[in-house]
Structure 1
Amino acid sequence: MPALAGRWVTDERFAVPQDPSFERSRALQDRLHDLVPGGAHTYARGSDQYPEFMTPVLTRGAGARVWDVDGNSYVEYGMGLRSVTLGHGYRPVVEAVSRAIADGVNFSRPTTMEVAAAEDFLSLVPGADMVKFAKNGSDVTTAAVRLARAVTGRVKVAACEQPFFSTDDWFIGTTAMKAGIPDAHVATTVRFTYNDLDSVAAALAGDDVACVILEAATATAEPAPGFLAGLRALCDRHGTLLVFDEMITGFRWSAGGAQAVYGVQPDLSCWGKAMANGFPLSALAGRREYMERGGLRTDEDRVFLLSTTHGAETASLAAFSAVVQAYRDGDPVGRMEHAGRLLADGVTAAVAEHGLERHVRVIGRPSCLVFVTGDADGVPSQAYRTLFLQELLRRGVLGQSFVTSAAHTDADIEHTIAAVRGALPVYRRAIDAGTVDGLLDGRPVAPAIRRTAAPRFIDARVS
């Protein structure tokens, strides 16, 4: 294993850290808490999601690597909450954005770039006739809900029991972090279970649901045979619109998202994250008969669908066009999956060598891997997860998952496997002792969406 930024020495089996410092990062993190509620602009990026005294504040990235203010270098996973598939600073995207912004970024009328971007997008998504761009995933999922309510004349939303759909009341009201949301809003959303058509049928039985919304697949769950087709049939039978959340699956399962992979077309679909390689862009797409309700060619009551100052600024649209070209010219999904398979095989082998198969696992689609950490009884544990994160950080690996990008090289994967090999003896000691006490510095990480703030009082066994 070659030395990395002077912070590594080589042993026969794994890289050994030279006690990386986080002093400047900790000071900046404290300052962020003074200035920004939660110390970050996304809950998943919060300091409570990382070991207490190891919260890197980053300065730059290149490919699959990032650097923090203390000079530490890491192989990064998760890649901007799955928003970066081509790598940080991907040159064709940077160059396309530079050319675009040199001519201005926002105008009083649409630009030719909006035409080109819409044509590019619709060429990738066979079930969509029209698209409208925005900035955040929550913008477009909530726009889809509003549109479905207008089309059906119904209020209820059936949302799958999956982690996240929107910051708006119709979804956040179903979580533990629902302070400030009226009970009447909470009552408009019902839940159903993924891969369980009976639970969907029960939710739709009253013919009063405007839409069903779900991720067609997740990092940890693929659709069972017939599930998506059965979902489509149930929605048609009950006059309910089917909405796919393609935030994660889009440009990671394929350029055309999960609907292209599984062959089931929704009425509406919501996109974001990787479509502009980290630049802020999202999209609502769907059938013309529904999308036109937000336009000027309708005889129906108009829907205030999306109207944003920055939705079609040229920088993000230029980034999107460059991403589309990269997917046409090459195989980013194939490269992500190659890296993921190498990583899963290597980590699984290392775990087996230490007899930790019941305690550490890598699961999910190769392009969207996550690791599962269990305690001495094999029960998912936040404390043991934190210990694993801590030891990976010490060895130059940053990430709450093993989600890869097309920029992850074989050398990056080898580095990561070496870091895991170095972390596992510490994990083994914790398993043998039945506790992380004496091995974990600080408090365990906590669920990002929770009712109370203090992570110290979160049950360490909550997954």
Structure 2
Amino acid sequence: MDTGSTEGTAEFRLPRSRLANERLHAMIPGGAHTYAKGDDQYPENLAPVISHGRGAHVWDIDGNRYVEYGSGLRSVSLGHAHPRVLEAVRRELDRGGNFVRPSIVEVEAAERFLATVPTAEMVKFAKNGSDTTTAAVRLARAATGRPRVAICADHPFFSIDDWFIGTTPMSAGVPAATTELTVAFPYGDLAATEELLARYQDEVACLILEPATHTEPPPGYLVGLRELADRHGCVLVFDEMITGFRWSEAGAQGLYGVVPDLSTFGKALGNGFAVSALAGRRDLMKLAGLRHSGDRVFLLSTTHGAETHSLAAAMAVQTIYAEEGVTARLHALGEKLAAGVREAAASMGVSDHIVVRGRASNLVFATLDENGQPSQEYRTLFLRRLLAGGVLAPSFVVSSALSDADIDHTVAVVAQACGVYRKALEAADPTPWLGGRPVKPVFRRLA
């Protein structure tokens, strides 16, 4: 039964979700299909299992309704079950979804994407971001004949594939020889990056990074990185999985005016439907094609990469963004939310401990302890209070479906959570408010 909200106390419980999580772990390694969705990311026994969603709200199988943030790991930027996206998908479902030859929808989707991201000259679609970032790395290696990949050390995730995962604490199963070919450079530091490229002179195939994250790029940084890549003959790759659409319809490259050689898009591109894209310069992309005289590159060859309904969803998303000014709305909503959360934290005297960061369209929050250090324990306390108030927020990343009332409700719940947070700080011990073990970081060596 839908209770309308989960306003409650420390006795808030999710008995059906708890049982469903046990069923998930019995059959699915990790209990979820993305580690960031794991129940270890939530307070003990308070990881909701979702029944359905509409707009900015989701309902769990216990009947509770939540205002949801970070929807689908940032993929559902228009809100769940968006009618115009569903209409486009339904039109294709009756026409068949996958054929032995390309569908005309592939042509239309490519034309639409390249019109949206005019800095790219060719595009190839896939289903997830890991595939396209790995394809970009392979293409860069093929084009340059170089073995090494330089990743931005300050950005948390690029791919599930060995070249990246081997550099994380979850490196089990990855040969050391593979990991040794991946080197790292710090974000915003051109001198350190140039030193890295000089140290591995003529060995680095590409520089890969998110062009922006919770901080704006320093003035001249992306332009300088572009110049470094050109000077050292390596490929510049922008991972626009998050920045695509949230920064501008054409991604961060469209906003900042710096053109990468290759870029990858996903997440918001399909509003929850599985579609991603590798895009870039024609002379690079054509190496994966049939109309050149060099060695062929096995780039992306996926059975489901061009499912017509997902491509239709992507075209609908791009149309909606352009016609309805979605990016501007995301920024406006984020600014309202950030201001409200900061005011609530300040009113409770915890503004130095609950800190909202990032671009307004992509807000995250930090939970700091009495010494100003990041704390999983205080994050647990905060998440627990948000859940009890009907707010599901592993981040504060907004969707355009949020209403002013949703944000007002969120801010009110945050204010209540800040009151508990202050008590824990005064006690210098959040343990009594945790309700069990603390939440855990995604990347850790041991389960």
CA drift of 1:385 comes to: 0.5
Whole-angstrom CA distance in 2 between matches of 1:6 and 1:280: 30
- Closer, same or farther in 2 for the Cα pair 1:329/1:6, shift >3 Å? closer
* 1:443 maps to 2:441: no
- Closer, same or farther in 2 for the Cα pair 1:154/1:7, shift >3 Å? closer
Whole-angstrom CA distance in 1 between matches of 2:412 and 2:145: 57
Q: Write out per-residue CA displacement over residues 387-444 of structure 1, whole angstroms, 9 at most, x where no aligned residue.
A: 1000000000002100001111101101100111111111111000001121110111
Whole-angstrom CA distance in 1 between matches of 2:349 and 2:223: 41
Partner of 2:355: 361
Which secondary structure state, in structure 2, belongs to the residue aligned with residue 349 of structure 1? helix
Partner of 1:418: 412
**TM-score if structure 2 supplies the norm length?**
0.97
Whole-angstrom CA distance in 1 between matches of 2:124 and 2:5: 47
> Residue 210 of structure 2 is aligned with which of 209, 212, 215?
215
2:105–2:312 contact (8 Å) kept in structure 1? yes
1:336–1:367 contact (8 Å) kept in structure 2? yes
Greater alpha carbon shift after TM alignment, 421-430 vs 139-148? 421-430
Partner of 1:184: 177
Partner of 2:40: 48
* 1:434 maps to 2:432: no
Which amino acid is the alignment partner of residue 51 of structure 2? T
CA drift of 1:248 comes to: 0.1
> Residue 57 of structure 1 is aligned with which of 49, 53, 58?
49
Q: Write out per-residue CA displacement over residues 238-278 of structure 1, whole angstroms, 9 at most, x where no aligned residue.
A: 10000000000001111100000000000000111110101
Map 1:234-253 → 2, pairs under 5 A: 234-253=228-247
CA drift of 1:5 comes to: 3.0
Partner of 2:120: 128
1:21–1:70 contact (8 Å) kept in structure 2? no
Which amino acid is the alignment partner of residue 399 of structure 1? A
Spell out structure 1 runs of 4+ moving beyond 6 A: none
Partner of 1:456: none
Which amino acid is the alignment partner of residue 163 of structure 1? P
Partner of 2:96: 104
Q: Write out per-residue CA displacement over residues 275-309 of structure 1, whole angstroms, 9 at most, x where no aligned residue.
A: 01010001100101000000011111110011000
Stretches of structure 2 that go unaligned for 5 or more consecutive residues are none
1:7–1:17 contact (8 Å) kept in structure 2? no
CA drift of 1:324 comes to: 1.1
CA drift of 1:16 comes to: 5.0
Which secondary structure state, in structure 2, belongs to the residue aligned with residue 438 of structure 1? helix
Whole-angstrom CA distance in 1 between matches of 2:112 and 2:344: 43
Whole-angstrom CA distance in 2 between matches of 1:203 and 1:156: 11
1:246–1:257 contact (8 Å) kept in structure 2? yes
Whole-angstrom CA distance in 2 between matches of 1:47 and 1:233: 44
- Closer, same or farther in 2 for the Cα pair 1:7/1:101, shift >3 Å? closer
Which amino acid is the alignment partner of residue 24 of structure 2? L
1:7–1:20 contact (8 Å) kept in structure 2? no
* 1:32 maps to 2:30: no
Whole-angstrom CA distance in 2 between matches of 1:16 and 1:37: 32
Which secondary structure state, in structure 2, belongs to the residue aligned with residue 132 of structure 1? strand
* 1:262 maps to 2:256: yes
1:7–1:18 contact (8 Å) kept in structure 2? no
2:4–2:64 contact (8 Å) kept in structure 1? no
Whole-angstrom CA distance in 2 between matches of 1:338 and 1:138: 30
Greater alpha carbon shift after TM alignment, 16-25 vs 317-326? 16-25
* 1:373 maps to 2:367: yes
CA drift of 1:168 comes to: 0.7
Which secondary structure state, in structure 1, belongs to the residue aligned with residue 192 of structure 2? helix
> Residue 302 of structure 2 is aligned with which of 308, 321, 325?
308
Which amino acid is the alignment partner of residue 184 of structure 1? A
Q: Write out per-residue CA displacement over residues 162-201 of structure 1, whole angstroms, 9 at most, x where no aligned residue.
A: 1000111110111011011111101000000000001210
1:369–1:404 contact (8 Å) kept in structure 2? yes
Which secondary structure state, in structure 1, belongs to the residue aligned with residue 18 of structure 2? helix
> Residue 5 of structure 1 is aligned with which of 3, 20, 24?
3
Partner of 1:69: 61
2:208–2:238 contact (8 Å) kept in structure 1? yes
Stretches of structure 1 that go unaligned for 5 or more consecutive residues are 9-14, 454-463
Which amino acid is the alignment partner of residue 192 of structure 1? F
Whole-angstrom CA distance in 1 between matches of 2:216 and 2:71: 22
Whole-angstrom CA distance in 2 between matches of 1:393 and 1:24: 15
Whole-angstrom CA distance in 2 between matches of 1:244 and 1:50: 31
CA drift of 1:17 comes to: 5.2
1:360–1:372 contact (8 Å) kept in structure 2? yes
1:128–1:287 contact (8 Å) kept in structure 2? yes
* 1:165 maps to 2:163: no
Q: Write out per-residue CA displacement over residues 320-369 of structure 1, whole angstroms, 9 at most, x where no aligned residue.
A: 11101101211111111111111111111111111112111111111000
Which amino acid is the alignment partner of residue 65 of structure 2? S
Map 1:271-290 → 2, pairs under 5 A: 271-290=265-284
Which amino acid is the alignment partner of residue 375 of structure 2? S
Partner of 1:201: 194
Whole-angstrom CA distance in 2 between matches of 1:371 and 1:237: 38
Greater alpha carbon shift after TM alignment, 17-26 vs 43-52? 17-26
Which amino acid is the alignment partner of residue 181 of structure 1? V
Whole-angstrom CA distance in 2 between matches of 1:203 and 1:147: 21
Which secondary structure state, in structure 1, belongs to the residue aligned with residue 111 of structure 2? helix
Q: Write out per-residue CA displacement over residues 203-255 of structure 1, whole angstroms, 9 at most, x where no aligned residue.
A: 2111210000000001x111100100000000000100000000000011111
Whole-angstrom CA distance in 2 between matches of 1:431 and 1:19: 21
- Percentage of matched positions with identical amino acids: 59
Whole-angstrom CA distance in 2 between matches of 1:213 and 1:306: 18
2:367–2:379 contact (8 Å) kept in structure 1? yes
Whole-angstrom CA distance in 2 between matches of 1:377 and 1:421: 21
2:132–2:264 contact (8 Å) kept in structure 1? yes
**TM-score if structure 1 supplies the norm length?**
0.94
